[in-house]
Homo-oligomer: A and B are copies of this chain.
């Protein structure tokens, strides 16, 4: 399979696939002409990576997940621990964003948004009041 085919089937851009090879996540075979020659197994790995990335796992976490996936003797506890840690990070991020949103929403709500210069948003950022 050429890279364009794999890109389409995995949903990842060709650029990203080359990048993933660069950082050692995949090792597609090569043809005599230098073109990458992807096997079904490579495609599966890429799809796996795409899904893990879409769940917000970092590349390094994906590397670990991939290793666990390929390790027939892994303990599911290891996977769960990794996922739970990531879940906690996501929750923390959500809380952080909600804090921002609440503050910002309140500021936006109190801003007249007209032609006059008075603006509670700027006043707040300036530390007034």
B125 near A69: Cβ-Cβ < 8 Å: yes
Inter-subunit contact B87/A91 (CB<8 Å): no
| Closest B residue, CB atoms, query A56 | B100
Judged by DSSP, the binding face of A is helix
In the complex the two chains form, is A122's CB within 8 Å of B69's CB?
A: yes
The smallest beta-carbon distance between A58 and chain B, in angstroms, is 13
A45 to chain B, nearest CB (A): 9
Bound-state CA distance A43–B100 (Å) is 23
Chain B nearest CB, measured from A39 CB (Å): 16
Tell which of B44, B48, B98, B116 touches A94, judged by Cβ atoms closer than 8 Å. Answer: B98
Interface flags for A85-119 (1: CB within 8 Å of B; 0: not) read 01100110110011011011101100111111111
| Residues of B with C-beta under 8 A to A47 | 127
Query: How many whole Å from A64's CB to the nearest CB in chain B?
Result: 11
With A51-B124, A56-B100 known as contacts, the answer to whether A73 contacts B117 (CB < 8 A) is yes
- A residues 40-72 near B (Cβ < 8 Å) are 44, 47-48, 51-52, 54-56, 65, 68-69, 71-72
Q: Smallest distance from the beta carbon of A27 to chain B beta carbons, Å? A: 18
